[in-house]
Amino acid sequence: MNSVNDRNRDIGPFVPAPDDDMLICRCEEITKGEIRKAVHDGMWTLTEIRRYLRTGMGLCQGQTCSKLVKSIVARELNVSPAELEPATSRVPMRPIEMRIFANEAKEDDDYE
């Protein structure tokens, strides 16, 4: 197990910072402070953070903030961002209405 997932590691207490109110996830309006706190609440992976705070779960699906969130979490855990596994990629890759998502085309090649 690499150190990123070693939950026995002491990352110290949450220390408030002057820029904690900086908005990071533009869609869900999540701040840097909330993300940092979440790490100290035990959310050490990007997938956990995403479920816990909804960062990257809004309309844009993390297109804008995922790299920013990753670097904040990495700094809080005192690891390099490259060591953090990115959050899962899954269908649909782009915002899409449920009615369209459920609307399977009948013909195979009818887009022309």
Partner 1 sequence: MKRYDLIIVGAGPSGLSAAVEAAKRGMEVVVFDENEKPGGQLFKQIHKFFGSKEHRAKVRGFNIGKQLLEEAAEAGVKVVLNATVIGLYQDKEVVVKIGEEIHHYKGDSVIIATGAAENMVTFPGWTLPGVIGAGAAQTMMNLHGVKPGKKVLMLGSGNVGLVVSFQLMQCGCEVVALVDAATRVGGYGVHAAKVARTGVPFYLSHTIVEAEGDECVTGVTIAEVDSSFKFIPGTEKHFDVDTICLAVGLSPMSQLLKMAGAKMEDNPKRGGQVPICDEYGRTSLPGVFVAGDVSGIEEASSAMIEGRMAGIVAAEYLGYTDEDDMNRNVESLEKALDGLRQGMFAPENRGKLVEKTEEGIDVSMNLLKKGYVADDEIERYPGVTHKVGIHPVMECTQNIPCNPCQDACPKKCISIGDNITSLPIVVPESECINCGMCVASCSGQAIFLVDEDCGDGTATVTLPYEFLPLPKEGAKGIALGRNGKKVCDAEVVNVRSAKAFDKTNLLTMRVPKEYAMKARFFRATV
Partner 2 sequence: MTERRIEEHPILGVQEKGKKITFTFDGKEVEGYEGEPIAAALKAAGLMVHRYTKKEHKPRGIFCAIGRCTDCVMVVDGVPNVRTCITPLKEGMDVKTQYGASDKPFDV
Rounded to 5 degrees, φ, ψ at 7 are -75, -10
Considering only 12, 13, 16, 92, the residue that binds partner 1 (CB under 8 A) is 92
What burial letters (b/e) apply to 36-48, b meaning 16+ CB within 10 Å?
Answer: bbbbeeebbbbeb
Q: Does 93 bind partner 1 (CB under 8 A)?
A: yes
Q: Does 6 bind partner 1 (CB under 8 A)?
A: no
Considering only 1, 15, 98, 105, the residue that binds partner 1 (CB under 8 A) is 105
Which of residues 65 and 77 has its CB atom nearest to partner 2 in the complex?
A: 65
The position carrying tokens 């915002």 is: 95
CB 32 within 8 A of CB 24: yes
Which of residues 11 and 60 has its CB atom nearest to partner 2 in the complex?
A: 60
Give the SS3 label for residue 31.
strand
Which of residues 8 and 103 has its CB atom nearest to partner 1 in the complex?
A: 103
